[in-house]
Amino acid sequence: MMSQYFELDLKAVLVPYDTSEFSENALEYAVYLAKAIFLGDSKKQIIKIMILHIIQEIPFTKTILDKIKSNRNNEKLSLSEHARSIYDETKISIEKDIDEKKKLYKSIDGIEIDSTILYGDPSNQIIDYTKKNRVDLIVMGSNGLQGLSKIRGLGSVSRKVSEAVSCPMTIIR
């Protein structure tokens, strides 16, 4: 029986965040974990928690296009103008939510919270972000806003990410 001493060199934790209950729990867990690792050791480096939100592309169907008639002044909007308006409103809303999270956790010793908002497919963006940035651990919800998977299993995003990344990952319900 071999016993090894393992020291966790945790400097950067990625939390994919979509405002779902599962991602809220993941963020709380990441903060708790970072706080516990930092606690009482002034030699430890601050642990960076990176909140990553992905704004998904909107699939426009004929039905949706038919409903996009005009803006508030009854002027016709182009599809790209309408899509841009939806993306802008979504980004403003999520920035406000993330800023509230940063304020909530900013007084905790040992952690620094950063955030990034990207556009595209959540799985691919999380995987790409992990490859391009130092990420020592991913803490993410088991399911997101897309709904619960069948029989309380993993959601498609968390499953795809867990199969593609090389860093450790903790999945939170």
pLDDT per position as a tens digit, 53-109: 999 987 766 666 666 654 455 666 677 787 788 899 999 999 999 999 999 999 998
Domain boundaries, the chain: 13-148
CA distances from 168 to 20, 79, 128 (A): 22, 41, 15
Secondary structure letter of residue 20 according to DSSP: S
CA torsion 100-18-82-67 (nearest 10°) is -120
Strand partners, 54: 118
| pLDDT grade for 1, boundaries at 50, 70 and 90 | very low
User: What's the pLDDT score for residue 152?
Assistant: 46
- Structure confidence by residue, pLDDT tens digits, 24-55: 999 999 999 999 888 766 677 899 999 999 99
Q: Closest by alpha carbon to 55, among 83, 22, 80?
A: 83
Task: Give me the pLDDT at residue 41, please.
Answer: 67
Q: Is 77 helix (H, G, I), strand (E, B) or coil?
A: coil
CA separation for the pair 164, 74 (Å, rounded)? 47
- Show Cβ contacts of residue 51 under 8 Å, excluding neighbours closer than 6 positions: 15, 17, 27, 98, 101, 113, 114, 115, 116
Domain 13-148: give its CATH architecture.
3-Layer(aba) Sandwich (3.40)
pTM of the model: 0.84
CA distance 153 to 22: 13
pLDDT at 129 over 70: yes
**Stretch 19-28: mean pLDDT:** 95
Q: With contact defined as beta carbons under 8 Å apart, do 155 and 30 qualify?
A: no
Q: What is the pLDDT of residue 83?
A: 79
